[in-house]
Structure formats: structure tokens, C-alpha cells
Amino acid sequence: MTMNKDLIIETDSRGVATITLNRPSVHNAFNNELIAELRSAFLALDADAAVRVILLTGAGKSFSAGADLNWMKRSVTFSAEENQQDAMGLSDMLATINNCSKPTLAIINGTAFGGGVGLAACCDIVVALTSATFSLSEVKLGLTPATISPYVVRAIGERAARRYFLTAERFDGIEARRIGLVHEIAQTVDEAQMIADGLIDYLLSGGPLAQADAKSLIRMVVGTEITDSMREKTAEQIAERRTSAEGQEGLSAFLEKRKPNWSAE
């Protein structure tokens, strides 16, 4: 187990790394230190070949309440250039999570406001408590959810964003699933962990390099017109996968009715 100032990082024997936001006294709200530590953690785990899956959750009763109050107070005195640099720190962290080559899961164990919603939207798979509270609350402060918007709009779609970006109303895990922010809901944290464990079993059965390529494939094709060039690129990817060492092992294992060499079982 590794403990930074604001994070707890644990990696088990299967290669499942759990990152726990560890500022429960302020509902795991963001400040510059947490943002930097979270980005560094994802970069390190993404580069670690022994890590197969990254799970993100929060300590205490909240996932993340968004921006820390003291952090917001300081930003009031910043110049436009300082605010730009500050916002880019958050943007870089979100991009690092979104672009991580490893499968990422989030367990939303409680409140997720503002940037906390952005964290959820950047993860591949999200499990939330039905009682979790979500809000894109920025307009109540005269701000906008600008930095998180590329990820949140992709998760919930334009129509839901036009409601929740403007109303800043709170909604629960059931509504979060309905609009696409959340994949699965649970009544308790234990049940959420059981659901996540089942999803992790599925993820560990896949080829790690194939999963990384699958993530890049999604980014390549989403919202893109199906052109001849696009079709050629997708054909190239499957051809490369078939001839790769991992692809050859996977196909051989299937034909020989055995587990592939990356399987946890």
C-alpha cells in the first residue's frame, strides 16, 4: 500500500490497483495537491505492466465534492493567466485519466459534485450507490463546468447536459444511470464492490494490449463519419491484432480450449 498526502493506492496480486481519494474531512474535494497526486498516480499505474485494472473511489461518505473551498477562495485573487494555468492543471489530470490505456472503474460511494462528476465521466465503467448525489453545480457560483465538459457531455449526451448544466439540480444514482453517467447501481457500498469485482473478473479475462487498443479504437471512431479511410484504419487494427503475439496466444488458447497466458485464473 502507498499513501500520498491525499491518496491511498493499493495493488493486489491480480494487478488491480485501487486509488482512494483520502480527504474525507472535506468530502474529497480537489485542491492543487490532490489534482497533481491523482495525475501522477494514474501516469505511474498506466506505465506499470503489472497493473491490469485501476479502480477509483473515495474515503468516507463522499466520492468527491468538486473544488475545495480554500482552493476556490485563492482563485478569486488570481490573474487571468494564473487562472488559466490553474484550470489547465485540472484539465491535464482529467485527460490523463480519460486517456489511460488500462481499464478504469469508479465506485461512486456518495456525493459527486462538479469535478467529481468529471472524474466519473473520465472512467470507463462506473458503479454508483442509488443514494449517491450528483450535481453539476457550477452555474450556482456564476461559473461553468468548462474543464469537465468534454467528458461529461460525451457521457450523458447533449440533451441531458442542456438540463443539468443549466439547472445545477441534484440527482441520484438511478437518474445518473438513466442518462448514461453510471453503468450499474447498488444499494450499499459492499454491493457496489461486489458488482465492481464481477466487472473486474471480466476485464482480467481480456488481453491487456487488446484492451488498450480497444480504448484507442473507441476514441478514433466515436462521432466520426464512416469513410473509406476509417474503414481502412479499422481493418489495419484487426490485422495487426491477429498477427500480434497477444492475438496469436488468444486465438490459440480459444482453439485449444485453454485459458490464455494473461488470464488471472
Residue 147 grid cell: 474543464
Residues 86 and 29 in one domain: yes
Q: Do 193 and 217 have their domain in common?
A: no
Same-domain pairing of 15 and 119: yes
Question: 43 and 131 in one domain?
Answer: yes
Mean pLDDT of 36-43: 96
Residues 229, 191 within the same domain: no
Q: Residue 236 is part of which domain span? A: 208-255
CATH code of the domain in which 110 resides:
3.90.226.10
User: How many whole angstroms from its chain centre is CA 255?
Assistant: 34
Dump pLDDT digits (tens) for 191-205: 999 999 999 999 999
Count of structural domains, the chain: 2
pTM for the full model? Answer: 0.94
Mean pLDDT of 145-170: 97
Q: Are 6 and 64 in contact, with CB atoms under 8 Å apart?
A: no
How far apart are alpha carbons 195 and 87 in whole angstroms? 34
Rounded Cα distance between 72 and 193, Å, is 33
Q: For 133-142, how does the pLDDT look when each residue is reduced to its tens digit (9 = 90+)?
A: 999 999 998 9
pLDDT above 80 (res 261)? yes
- Shared-domain flag, residues 13 and 40: yes
Report the largest interatomic distance among the alpha carbons of the chain, rounded to a whole angstrom.
Answer: 66
Cα distance between residue 31 and residue 188, in whole Å: 28
* 249 and 177 share one domain: no
Q: Is the pLDDT of residue 63 over 60?
A: yes
Q: 235 and 183 in one domain?
A: no
* 263 in a structural domain: no
CA distance 37 to 148: 18
Instruction: Give the whole-number percent of the chain exceeding pLDDT 70.
Output: 97
Least confidently predicted of 10-19, 90-99, 161-170, 222-231: 222-231
